[in-house]
């Protein structure tokens, strides 16, 4: 009975009347077959529709969320260029409510216990976990690498044996896009694995002996917290823009082809690049971590969801980097290790060809500005069955397979340096 009362109280909290209601919202899928259709979708993306997958090439599916009020208008608009659609999700609101119930039930069952790595957590809980780990584990220290518009500190964990101030560094950032909840869940699980198994797990021990691991579990705290309190599908940060619209996409705000294709100058767009490169605290914090470790950083990994992809530069153009052969070699090894875990299939290659053109990204910046050859962008589970509402019971398998891929990557980078 006590657990039931706790669960009911939490449901009431999560179902706050001030939240955006997605009841009846659909996700439709279209597949552009002509250049005209592709251009049309690219232009449509500049409007305020929520594209869950972006138009990039002919024959590649594009998913768009649409409200009940705009559904018929969108379909008639698509029909003008002969774009037929299928419905992927009939009611996103139902999916969000199911996610809320799953989160609440696990919270009730684990009330009073240790940190639950198989559930989603508020930013304050993640902060508290990082600080506690730093206080109790000599390998871990925590620091604030930036302060957001709303005053939240962007916390980073440093995992290091402390053996050398010139050791290589591997930097991992998660949740640059607020609604991608499985990414911080994955990153804090990996953080705990490295911190608690160093000295007993030979692979982890060798990995941390070679390089310090820097992990930012939530790179966009304002946006992430907003997905809990107000709008589950919010993507950007929460900086106000001119007019009524809020937020800049931090992963379009880097000085790497800034303002080019795949980013929007419409402040209401989910891919709004901001008024200038590094106008966001989130992108600036990432930049500053790399700058502070310039010459030491051998890997810079940005972790997103969803689509099951492992990608390298470039995103801002289709041309391949000079180091692409080496990028691809390590990607292939990493993806094979990930897939060997549970059979999860990932596509891999350069960003522009694998997912879409995306200018101003952290991955391009790490390679272009800091020369980090092993700069990768990951898109974790799934391929659209749940999308951003991946159930808590898939957190652990997602984290384990991702970590296996990253361990294989780290091993290859270490071997290459010898």
Closest CA to 394 of 302, 301, 303, 305: 305
379 is catalytic: yes
**For residues 278 and 254, is the Cβ–Cβ distance under 8 A?**
yes
* Token pair 């684990």: residue: 110
Q: Which of 173, 180, 370, 379 is catalytic?
A: 379
- Please, what's the b/e burial string for 127-139 (b: 16 or more CB within 10 A of its CB; e: otherwise)? bebbeebbeebeb
At 275, list the tokens: 């008024």
DSSP class of residue 329 equals H
Give Dmax over CA atoms of the chain in angstroms: 64
At 281, list the tokens: 């605290």
Exposed/middle/buried for residue 286 (C-beta within 10 Å: 0-12, 13-18, 19+): buried
H or E stretch at 65: strand 62-66
* Token pair 């109280």: residue: 9
- Residue 226 CB partners (closer than 8 Å, separation 6+): 178, 234, 238
**For residues 173 and 362, is the Cβ–Cβ distance under 8 A?**
yes
Three-class SS of 218-284: CCCHHHHHHHHHCCCCCCCCCCECCCCCECCCHHHCCCCCCCCCCCECCCCCCCECCCCCCCCHHHH
**For residues 157 and 215, is the Cβ–Cβ distance under 8 A?**
yes
At 417, list the tokens: 């340096």
Show the CA angle centred on residue 393, arms to residues 389 and 394, nearest 5°. Answer: 65
Catalytic residue positions, numbered: 379
């Amino acid at each position: 009975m006590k657990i039931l009362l706790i669960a009911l109280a939490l449901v009431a909290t999560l179902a706050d009347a001030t939240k955006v209601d997605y009841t009846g919202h659909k996700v439709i899928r279209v597949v552009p077959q002509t250049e005209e259709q592709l251009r049309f979708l690219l232009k449509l993306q500049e409007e305020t529709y929520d594209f869950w997958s972006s138009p990039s090439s002919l024959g590649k599916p594009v998913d768009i969320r649409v409200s009940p009020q705009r559904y018929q208008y969108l379909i008639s608009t698509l029909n003008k260029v002969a774009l037929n659609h299928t419905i992927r999700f009939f009611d996103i609101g139902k999916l969000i409510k199911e996610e809320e119930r799953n989160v609440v039930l696990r919270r009730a069952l684990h009330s009073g216990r240790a940190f639950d790595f198989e559930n989603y957590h508020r930013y304050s809980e993640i902060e508290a976990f990082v600080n506690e780990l730093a206080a109790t584990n000599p390998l871990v220290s925590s620091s604030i690498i930036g302060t957001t518009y709303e005053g939240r500190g962007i916390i980073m964990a440093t995992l290091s044996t402390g053996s050398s101030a010139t050791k290589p560094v591997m930097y991992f950032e998660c949740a640059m896009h607020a609604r991608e909840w499985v990414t911080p869940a994955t990153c804090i699980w990996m953080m705990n694995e490295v911190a608690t198994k160093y000295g007993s797990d030979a692979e982890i021990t060798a990995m941390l002996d070679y390089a310090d691991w820097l992990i930012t579990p939530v790179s966009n705290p304002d946006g992430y917290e907003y997905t809990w309190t107000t709008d589950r599908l919010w993507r950007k940060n929460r900086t106000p823009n001119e007019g009524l619209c809020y937020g800049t996409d931090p992963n379009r705000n880097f000085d790497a082809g800034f303002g080019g294709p795949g980013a929007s100058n419409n402040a209401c767009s989910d891919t709004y690049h901001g008024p200038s490169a590094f106008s966001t605290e989130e992108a600036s914090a990432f930049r500053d971590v790399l700058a502070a470790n310039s010459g030491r950083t051998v890997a810079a990994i940005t972790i997103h969801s969803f689509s099951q992809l492992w990608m390298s530069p470039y995103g801002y153009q289709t041309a391949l980097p000079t180091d692409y052969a080496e990028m691809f070699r390590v990607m292939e090894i990493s993806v094979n290790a990930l897939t060997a875990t549970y059979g999860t299939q990932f596509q891999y290659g350069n960003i522009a060809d694998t997912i879409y053109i995306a200018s101003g990204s952290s991955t391009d910046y790490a390679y272009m500005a800091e020369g980090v050859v092993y700069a990768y962008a990951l898109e974790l589970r799934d391929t659209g069955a749940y999308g951003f509402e991946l159930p808590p019971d898939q957190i652990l398998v997602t984290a384990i397979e991702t970590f296996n891929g990253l361990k294989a990557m780290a091993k290859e980078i270490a071997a290459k340096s010898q």
